[in-house]
């Protein structure tokens, strides 16, 4: 596993993998890579069958792959807990070569997500439906610590893609997080989105004592009214019926894409 120390290493490293037939889950931006490099958190591993980009997160590693030959396995010590995610379309089938690839190197299928999307027309229709009155505003740097606590309360530390402080601060500077204020002060909810033009909801969180009171719906509708996306996306747990119903009520519907999370736990010693 080799550390990546300069962003100039990235383009030539990836250049040979952007071609037909290469399996990948890479969707990171240049800003993501630059932040990881600055924090000394980005590594790579190559072998005859492909390339792994490895992001060191708090307590685990997240893997992004370019696989040219699923029958060729990497020889790599993952050093503890590692997580990767495989996106798939309906025609890809339920259990293809990539699933077998990750199983053979010790990963277990852990979670499934569904992708939902909405059109501009659906956004406009949903935005006209009244939401519960609630103070919602763009979050600022002063909210960073409170947001961090809310992320930690509501999302799994390994599967929730929780932004670290640097990523949170970048999202705040870009106006990508809205927050809801509780009746007695403090934050009771947040919605975090991707930077334009992708219009993806990345996180939706409501404090435990405020769930079931319309906070999540108000946050989604506020975001839709503020962004007015021509096309919006969100991923949510395949078994999270409440979240799926919420997004459907806000104009989203499943488009057939799924994502399967695989995890490798540290072996007992």
Q: What is the pLDDT of residues 103-143, one digit of tens each?
A: 999 999 999 999 999 887 877 777 677 666 788 999 999 99
Q: What is the pLDDT of residue 131?
A: 65
Mean pLDDT of the chain: 90
Q: What is the pLDDT of residue 269?
A: 41
Q: What is the pLDDT of residues 11-57, one digit of tens each?
A: 999 998 988 889 999 988 888 899 899 999 999 999 999 999 999 99
Other Cβ atoms within 10 Å of 163 Cβ, number? 21
- HSE at residue 262, side-chain half, CA atoms within 13 A, is 21
Distance CA 1, CA 176 (A): 33
Mean local confidence (pLDDT), 219-237: 89
Query: CB burial class (10 A; 0-12, 13-18, 19+) of residue 118?
Result: buried
């Amino acid at each position: 596993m080799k550390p990546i120390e300069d962003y100039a290493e990235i383009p030539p490293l990836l250049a040979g993998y952007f071609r037909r037939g290469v399996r990948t889950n890479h969707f990171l931006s240049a800003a993501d890579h630059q932040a990881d490099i600055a924090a000394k958190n980005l590594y790579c591993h190559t072998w005859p069958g492909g390339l792994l980009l490895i992001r060191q997160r708090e307590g685990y590693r997240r893997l992004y792959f370019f696989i040219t030959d699923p029958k060729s396995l990497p020889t790599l010590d993952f050093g503890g807990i590692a997580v990767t995610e495989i996106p798939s379309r309906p025609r890809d089938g339920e259990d293809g070569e990539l699933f077998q690839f990750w199983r053979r190197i010790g990963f277990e299928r852990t979670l499934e997500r569904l992708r939902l999307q909405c059109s501009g027309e659906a956004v406009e229709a949903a935005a006209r439906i009244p939401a519960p009155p609630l103070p919602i505003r763009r979050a600022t740097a002063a909210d960073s610590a409170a947001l961090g606590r809310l992320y930690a309360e509501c999302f799994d530390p390994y599967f929730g893609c929780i932004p670290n402080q640097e990523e949170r601060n970048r999202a705040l500077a870009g106006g990508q997080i809205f927050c809801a204020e509780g009746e007695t002060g403090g934050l009771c909810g947040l919605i975090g989105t991707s930077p334009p033009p992708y219009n993806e909801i990345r996180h939706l969180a409501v404090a435990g004592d405020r769930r079931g009171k319309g906070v999540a719906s108000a946050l989604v509708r506020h975001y839709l009214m503020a962004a007015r996306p021509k096309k919006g996306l969100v991923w949510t747990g395949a078994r999270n019926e409440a979240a799926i119903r919420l997004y459907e009520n806000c104009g989203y519907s499943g488009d057939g894409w799924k994502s399967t999370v695989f995890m490798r736990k540290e072996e007992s010693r």
